[in-house]
Amino acid sequence: MKHIFKITSVLAAISAIWISLLQTSIVPPSYTWLLPIYLVVALGCYGLFMVGIGLMFFPTCPQEAVLLQQDIVEAKEFLSNNGVDVASD
């Protein structure tokens, strides 16, 4: 629930800045109307960047790999005991 409040407050702040830029003549109106598009593009670039960083530093979990291999062995034994052919080619 905390993330909803954070996202809502960020969107409210961005909307307030955008409306204030529309009301004042600091930025020309032709550029001000493009700001939401720039925001969407910037968020897309940020998202792609974060996915790339996450893939570059993907954590390895050797303990979990060992537990997964044990679970696979147990499942194969269980299925073999119940008459299911689990031979891997």
DSSP line for 33-74: TTHHHHHHHHHHHHHHHHHHHHHHTPPP-HHHHHHHHHHHHH
Tokens of 78: 């269980």
Assigned domain for 23 exists:
yes
Assigned domain for 89 exists:
no
Report d(CA 36, CA 39) in Å as an integer: 5
Mean pLDDT by 10 residues, the chain (89 residues): 81 85 75 79 89 84 88 92 78
CB 86 within 8 A of CB 76: yes
| Total domain count, the chain | 1
Report d(CA 85, CA 89) in Å as an integer: 11
Q: Which domain holds residue 54?
A: 2-81
Give the predicted TM-score (pTM) of the model.
0.47
